[in-house]
Amino acid sequence: MKIIVLDGYGLNPGDLSWDEMAALGELTVYDRTVPDELLERAADAEVLLTNKTVITAGDIAALPNLKYIGVLATGYNIIDVQAAKLQGITVTNIPAYSTSSVGQMVFAHILNITQRVGHYACANHRGRWADNLDFCYWDTNLIELDGKSIGIVGLGNTGRATARIAAGFGMKVRACTSKLQSQLPEGIQKMELDELFRECDIVSLHCPLTPETQGMVHAARLATMKPTAILINTGRGPLVNEKDLADALNSGVILAAGLDVLSVEPPRHDNPLLAAKNCFITPHIAWATREARDRLMRIAVDNLKGFIQGEIINNVLK
């Protein structure tokens, strides 16, 4: 079985091993694949593994040996799944591998904004504390989380993980979810979306990207938030209208934003959020802890093993 990994660098820049995958067939791993390279590299492949490399209906039609596409991520919008289904090609994904890591990143952003640890550490390396007249100093607003309200939009795996961490900080947890109040874990209060944005001190996005949720964070909704509010997005970049958020930050409509995702990645240099006031951006790394990537690799191997043995795991075409 010929196995091609189209863009393996994101998952494994060198600190993991492909050996278990290689044991399942003839494995070739490419760090990155641009569209013009795909058909040549995948010409005889029975198995394609991809993280962000798009596989179109045209690609699928041109690859007669292809039997299996494994997405090395949770989202599978990069695959034309209907074309795959018509050709009898199995498509799998990797759900829930980074749940704990994403919840951790949510609070890394929250704590950075409320405590500004990086700001003070950098200032002290430049001598700020050593030159200070008093035993301590602060030049930012320091914010206690205990008693504050966090609104979680989407109560799937990462939303629930974030809720558990928030409860540990003594926060009031609110959620916009399709679940009934009776189905929610103890301590989580259901809210409608607009009420959540209006009432909560922090709003964290964990919902899928759909036509209904695309651009859901826009100028009108931001204007309803508290001027002390914080927006966190570790979900999908296009959930946010980036110009509207930049304008809201620069004009003080809300206090700050912590983002791990943007609408285009890598971002264009003229993305307005890159220069926005109190906007803290990490490069889509919430999923990328060593532990989460190791888990992803193991699940990817198990998915392919299951396919080979006729027991398909994490099938997105069910």
Is residue 313 included in any domain, yes or no?
no
Helix/strand/coil (H/E/C) assignment for every residue in the chain: CEEEECCCCCCCCCCCCCHHHHCCCEEEECCCCCHHHHHHHCCCCCEEEECCCCECHHHHHCCCCCCEEEECCCCCCCECHHHHHHCCCEEECCCCCCHHHHHHHHHHHHHHHHHCHHHHHHHHHCCCCCCCCCCCCCCCCCCCCCCCEEEEECCCHHHHHHHHHHHHCCCEEEEECCCCHHHCCCCEEECCHHHHHHHCCEEEECCCCCCCCCCCECHHHHCCCCCCCEEEECCCHHHECHHHHHHHHHCCCCCEEEECCCCCCCCCCCCHHHHCCCEEECCCCCCCCHHHHHHHHHHHHHHHHHHHCCCCCCECCC
Q: Does residue 179 share a domain with residue 109? A: yes
Is residue 67 included in any domain, yes or no?
yes
Q: Select which of 144, 265, 268, 291 is catalytic.
A: 265
Q: What tokens appear for 149 in the block?
A: 């309200």
Query: Quick check: is 218 catalytic?
Result: no
Query: Quick check: is 269 catalytic?
Result: no
What pLDDT is stored for residue 302 in this prediction? 98
Q: Does residue 90 share a domain with residue 70? A: yes
Q: What are the strands of the beta sheet with 26-29, ordered from one edge?
A: 26-29, 2-5, 47-50, 68-71, 90-92
Q: Does residue 254 share a domain with residue 116? A: yes
Look at residues 220, 287, 284, 290 and name the one whose alpha carbon lies nearest to residue 248: 220
Query: Quick check: is 265 catalytic?
Result: yes
List pLDDT tens digits, range 205-253. 999 999 999 999 999 999 999 999 999 999 999 999 999 999 999 999 9
Task: Say what the pTM is.
Answer: 0.93
User: Is residue 318's pLDDT more than 90?
Assistant: no
Is residue 82 included in any domain, yes or no?
yes
What pLDDT is stored for residue 24 in this prediction? 98
What pLDDT is stored for residue 275 in this prediction? 98
Total number of domains in the chain: 2
- The mean per-residue pLDDT over the stretch 258-278 comes to 98
Q: Does residue 149 share a domain with residue 203? A: yes
Q: Select which of 109, 236, 293, 295 is catalytic.
A: 236
List pLDDT tens digits, range 9-40. 999 999 999 999 999 999 999 999 999 999 99
What pLDDT is stored for residue 219 in this prediction? 98
Q: Does residue 180 share a domain with residue 264? A: yes
Read off φ and ψ for residue 164, nearest 5 degrees. Answer: -65, -40
User: Is residue 78's pLDDT more than 90?
Assistant: yes
Q: Does residue 277 share a domain with residue 201? A: yes
Give the residue carrying structure tokens 């292809």: 66
Is residue 198 included in any domain, yes or no?
yes
Is residue 175 included in any domain, yes or no?
yes
Q: Does residue 137 share a domain with residue 265? A: yes
- The mean per-residue pLDDT over the stretch 47-60 comes to 97
Q: Does residue 70 share a domain with residue 103? A: no
Is residue 316 included in any domain, yes or no?
no
In single-letter form, the type of residue at position 165 comes to I
Is residue 315 included in any domain, yes or no?
no
The residue range of the domain holding 303 is 2-97+290-308
CATH code of the domain containing 62 = 3.40.50.720
List pLDDT tens digits, range 283-309. 999 999 999 999 999 999 999 999 999
Look at residues 163, 160, 183 and name the one whose alpha carbon lies nearest to residue 173: 163
Q: Does residue 85 share a domain with residue 103? A: no
Q: Does residue 209 share a domain with residue 177? A: yes
Q: Does residue 140 share a domain with residue 93? A: no
Q: Does residue 303 share a domain with residue 262? A: no
List pLDDT tens digits, range 118-129. 999 999 999 999
**Angle, vertex CA 250, rays to CA 248 and CA 252, nearest 5:** 65
List pLDDT tens digits, range 163-205. 999 999 999 999 999 999 999 999 999 999 999 999 999 999 9
Is residue 318 included in any domain, yes or no?
no
